[in-house]
Every structure is written in structure tokens, then in C-alpha cells.
């Protein structure tokens, strides 16, 4: 009887242990915190690599589940505004850098500089991409991925036309363009993709002009300065002399079509023009030709933000920290994304993508667009002003003097 009793007791203990473990595992699963992450990663390698990063994060953080949702870019800004108003915003988002000013001014975003260990991530971030997050004395995000534009040359066209060197200055570029271009035959050396800030600012900055003060509080004295007036006059002269194609004012073929089909010796584009486009010609990259302002380009990319009403800020912040780790940054870089941290840049292997070295070099001399809640209105307004100057409908002096006053109002 004693033996039977001992066996029975042992049996009960084993059953209790199995039952307890089963409940514990189920309880652990039920207790996982789920955070919602919105993003706009492109289908293919970019999204696949990111999904791998998410899976590894969940392995290393079993109490956190990431509900990763790919959102369509078209109309997304308004969708975010609606979600914030309705209390249904995500916990974390990969946000276009040009939306930062508007979202921060709405009070939608959490101040990341108040989070634990923020200074460590701030110090490790590339300075210019980091600056897109600084709005009125606070950092409302951290850069996740960055990009810029530089000069991409059609080597086949250069060889066919006996152009034996890559112009390093705007003066050299203009000289070669005058020898090459023939508007009667629709033969142009290069073009500018439109009159919006993304395409115009690298030229305006490189020519020595600007559209606002360094602290982005005023346009007078900058947008209407002699340097900016001279820059717009020079760009207009390129169009009027037939050195650049009518694509700058909406003519056809557009800049992308002309460049990708091999019609232009030079295009100013981002890394996607190489990683995602198969061209019928050999390409070479260089820094944007320099002028009085040096070789300047523009910063693009996305920032990581936490929404102020997140119910799980600690877990959301942990996910942000993971995405800024070297292993996550380098995994995403395999799909062509340029890392935003100094340590990841140092470890980046570009042996198979040497063009990225030039993009990273150009990032050292980039500037950002105005981080204002009214940036979209500013950009749309300047599109019209710049186009009228280029068409010769308004003088650069008159148009930019009036524009500076208007932009000052939008910067308030």
C-alpha cells in the first residue's frame, strides 16, 4: 500500500507540473504586449528584409508582438491625421521626414528625447538625417533610413560624344552642356525634374542660394537674397538656352523617362535609380557638380516616431531601439537602404555596391527641407514661383521678393 501511495503521489506531482507548465505557457502567450507599427516599405527585398528584422526582434523579446502593417503612401498623411484625431494611431511609425513638422505641431508625437538612453542614439545618428527630427526644442523621432541625390552619368553617351571627363564644377558642367545640347534636335545634356524643392534645392544651394534662415524661422534675407536671385537666374538661363530639357516645367519626356531610357548624359537621382532600374547603358556616379555654395544635395528618408497616445510606450521604444541596432540597420541595408547610424555605416560592406560610397560621401554635404507644419504649402507655392521665373514670366528679383514675404507668413 505504501508503494502504491508513493507511486500515486509521484503521478500527481508530474501531472501537476505538466498542467502548471501548460497554463504558464498559455498565460505567457496571452500576456504578450502587441504594438502596432505602420510603414511604407516597398514590396520585394526591402519588405522581406524588414520582416526578418521583426521576427528576430520577437525572438529576442518574446513578451512583445509587433503587428507590422504596410500602408499605401498615397493619402497616408491624412490617414495618420484622422487616426490621431480618432485615437487609433499606431504605437510606432516609419514616417516621411517632411511630415515631421506637421505631426509634431499637432501634438501627435512623443518627445523621444525624454526616453531612456535617448542620448546614446542621438550621438550615434548621422547629424543631418537626425536634424529632421528636431522641432521647437525637442526631438520627436530618430532617423531609420536615409537617402540623397547625386550625379549619375550615362557613360555610353559621354563616350559617343567624346566627353572625356566628368564635370566637377557647375562652370565645367555648363561649358560641356553648351557644346553638347541642341534643342532643335531635342538633344539636352541634363534636366531638372520639376520646380519643387526636392529637385530645385540642390542646385540653388550649390549655386550659393537658400530659401530660409538656418533656424527655419524666416525667408526674408535668404529667399530674396542676391545669391538666391542669381541662382534662379542661372537655372532659368539653362532652360532658355536649351541646355536642360522642358521637363523642368512639365514637358515630355519627363526627367525620369529621359534619364532611364538613355537620352541624357546626366541625371540627378537617388540610389533607387541604380538599385531598382535596369538601364540600357553603363552608369557612373559622382558628387553633384559644385558652385559657390559647394556640392550640395538634399536629404530624404524616413524617421521613427512614437505616437503620444500609445498605450505601450516602453515596448514601442524598445522596438525603435532595436531597429537602430547595427544588426537591424545592416540587414535592411542589404536591400539598398542607407543606414542612419555611425556604427552601422562603419561596418557597411559596399564591395558589391560601391556606388553607395559616393552617396554616403554626398550625405556629408546635404541639407534638409524646411521642417515646418506648413512645408507642403510652402513647396506648392514655390513650385509656381520658380516655374514663372524659369519661363521668363516674372523677374527673379520681383518674384523672390514677394515670395519671401509670403513664406515668412507660412513659417509663423
Identify the H or E element spanning 70. strand 64-70
Cell 566637377 locates to 168
CB atoms within 10 A of CB 133: 25
Give the pLDDT score at 29: 62
Give the pLDDT score at 15: 44
Q: Where does 254-342 show beta strands of DSSP type E?
A: 266-269, 283-286, 297-306
Helix (H, G, I), strand (E, B) or coil at 205: helix
Rounded CA-CA distance 345/71 in Å is 28
Query: Residue 14 above 70 pLDDT?
Result: no
Among 117, 38, 70, 106, which Cα is nearest to 318's? 117
Binned at pLDDT 50, 70 and 90, residue 161 comes out as very high
Which segment of 134-138, 188-192, 276-280 scores lowest on mean pLDDT?
Answer: 276-280
Residues 288, 284, 190, 177, CA torsion sign: positive
Query: Residue 383 above 70 pLDDT?
Result: yes
Domain boundaries for CATH 3.40.190.10 within the chain: 32-147+301-367, 150-299+369-410
Rounded CA-CA distance 133/11 in Å is 61
Query: Residue 64 above 50 pLDDT?
Result: yes
Among 290, 55, 264, 299, which Cα is nearest to 160's? 264
Give the pLDDT score at 19: 42
Mean pLDDT along residues 149-164: 96
Query: Residue 4 above 60 pLDDT?
Result: no
Rounded CA-CA distance 316/15 in Å is 39
Give the pLDDT score at 189: 97
Give the pLDDT score at 12: 44
Which segment of 8-22, 141-155, 214-228 scores lowest on mean pLDDT?
Answer: 8-22
Rounded CA-CA distance 366/128 in Å is 7
Task: Tell how strand 64-70 and strand 33-39 pair up.
Answer: parallel
Task: Round the CA-based radius of gyration of the chain to a whole number and report it.
Answer: 26
Rounded CA-CA distance 298/200 in Å is 10
Identify the H or E element spanning 34. strand 33-39
DSSP state, 185?
A: G
Mean pLDDT along residues 134-140: 95
Rounded CA-CA distance 39/33 in Å is 19
Mean pLDDT along residues 369-380: 97
Give me the chain's average pLDDT, please: 93
Sheet (strand 283-286) strand order: 266-269, 150-154, 283-286
- In contact, 209 and 228? CB cutoff 8 Å: yes
Phi-psi region at 92: left, alpha or beta (left = phi > 0; alpha = psi -120 to 50): beta
Cell 526644442 locates to 137
Give the pLDDT score at 28: 57
Q: What is the SS3 string spanning 100-152?
A: HHHHHHCCCECCHHHCCCHHHHHHHECHHHHHCCEECCEECCEEEEEEECEEE
pTM for this model (two decimals): 0.90
Each residue's pLDDT tens digit, 170-214: 999 999 999 999 999 999 999 999 999 999 999 999 999 999 999
The more confident residue out of 247 and 14 is 247
Cell of 221: 534675407
Query: Residue 268 above 60 pLDDT?
Result: yes
Q: Which fold has domain 150-299+369-410?
A: D-Maltodextrin-Binding Protein; domain 2 (3.40.190)
Query: Residue 328 above 80 pLDDT?
Result: yes
Give the pLDDT score at 314: 97
DSSP state, 165?
A: S
DSSP state, 66?
A: E
Cell of 240: 532658355
Residues 82, 88, 90, 91, CA torsion sign: positive
- In contact, 149 and 268? CB cutoff 8 Å: yes
Give the pLDDT score at 196: 97
Cell 559616393 locates to 358
Query: Residue 26 above 70 pLDDT?
Result: no
Cell 520582416 locates to 51
Binned at pLDDT 50, 70 and 90, residue 30 comes out as low
Rounded CA-CA distance 9/217 in Å is 79
Query: Residue 17 above 80 pLDDT?
Result: no
Query: Residue 279 above 70 pLDDT?
Result: yes
Cell of 143: 532617423
- In contact, 302 and 101? CB cutoff 8 Å: no
Query: Residue 127 above 90 pLDDT?
Result: yes
State whether CATH 3.40.720.10 applies to domain 32-147+301-367.
no
User: How many percent of the chain have pLDDT more than 90?
Assistant: 90
Each residue's pLDDT tens digit, 101-118: 999 999 999 999 999 999
Give the pLDDT score at 31: 86
Amino acid at each position: 500500500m505504501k508503494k502504491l501511495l508513493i507511486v500515486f503521489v509521484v503521478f500527481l506531482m508530474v501531472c501537476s507540473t505538466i498542467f502548471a507548465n501548460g497554463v504558464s505557457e498559455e498565460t505567457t502567450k496571452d500576456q504578450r504586449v502587441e504594438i502596432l507599427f505602420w510603414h511604407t516599405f516597398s514590396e520585394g527585398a526591402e519588405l522581406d528584409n524588414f520582416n526578418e528584422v521583426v521576427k528576430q526582434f520577437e525572438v529576442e523579446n518574446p513578451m512583445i508582438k509587433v503587428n507590422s502593417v504596410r500602408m499605401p503612401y498615397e493619402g497616408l498623411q491624412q490617414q495618420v491625421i484622422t487616426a490621431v484625431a480618432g485615437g487609433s494611431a499606431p504605437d510606432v511609425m516609419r514616417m516621411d521626414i517632411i511630415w515631421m513638422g506637421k505631426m509634431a505641431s499637432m501634438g501627435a508625437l512623443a518627445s523621444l528625447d525624454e526616453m531612456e538612453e535617448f542620448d546614446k542614439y542621438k550621438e550615434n545618428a548621422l547629424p543631418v538625417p537626425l536634424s529632421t527630427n528636431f522641432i521647437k526644442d525637442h526631438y520627436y523621432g530618430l532617423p531609420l533610413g536615409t537617402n540623397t541625390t547625386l550625379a549619375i552619368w550615362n557613360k555610353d553617351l559621354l563616350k559617343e560624344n567624346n566627353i572625356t571627363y566628368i564635370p566637377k564644377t557647375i562652370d565645367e558642367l555648363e561649358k560641356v552642356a553648351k557644346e553638347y545640347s541642341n534643342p532643335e534636335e531635342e538633344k539636352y545634356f541634363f534636366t531638372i525634374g520639376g520646380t519643387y524643392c526636392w529637385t530645385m534645392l540642390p542646385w540653388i544651394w550649390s549655386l550659393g542660394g537658400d530659401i530660409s534662415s538656418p533656424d527655419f524661422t524666416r525667408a526674408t534675407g535668404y529667399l530674396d537674397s542676391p545669391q538666391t536671385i542669381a541662382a534662379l537666374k542661372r537655372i532659368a538661363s539653362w532652360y532658355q538656352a536649351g541646355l536642360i530639357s522642358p521637363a523642368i516645367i512639365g514637358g515630355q519626356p519627363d526627367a525620369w523617362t529621359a534619364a532611364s531610357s538613355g537620352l541624357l548624359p546626366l541625371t540627378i537621382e537617388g540610389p533607387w535609380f541604380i538599385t531598382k532600374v535596369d538601364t540600357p547603358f553603363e552608369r557612373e556616379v559622382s558628387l553633384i557638380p559644385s558652385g559657390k555654395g559647394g556640392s550640395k544635395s538634399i536629404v530624404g528618408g524616413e524617421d521613427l516616431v512614437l505616437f503620444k497616445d500609445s498605450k505601450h510606450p516602453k515596448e514601442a521604444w524598445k522596438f525603435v531601439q532595436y531597429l537602430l541596432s547595427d544588426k537591424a540597420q545592416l540587414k535592411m541595408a542589404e536591400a539598398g537602404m542607407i543606414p542612419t547610424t555611425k556604427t552601422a555605416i562603419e561596418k557597411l560592406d559596399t564591395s558589391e555596391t560601391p556606388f553607395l560610397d559616393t552617396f554616403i560621401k554626398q550625405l556629408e554635404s546635404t541639407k534638409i527641407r524646411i521642417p515646418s507644419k506648413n512645408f507642403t504649402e510652402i513647396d506648392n507655392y514655390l513650385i509656381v514661383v520658380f516655374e514663372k521665373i524659369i519661363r521668363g514670366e516674372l523677374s527673379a528679383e520681383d518674384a523672390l521678393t514677394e515670395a519671401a514675404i509670403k513664406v515668412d507668413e507660412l513659417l509663423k
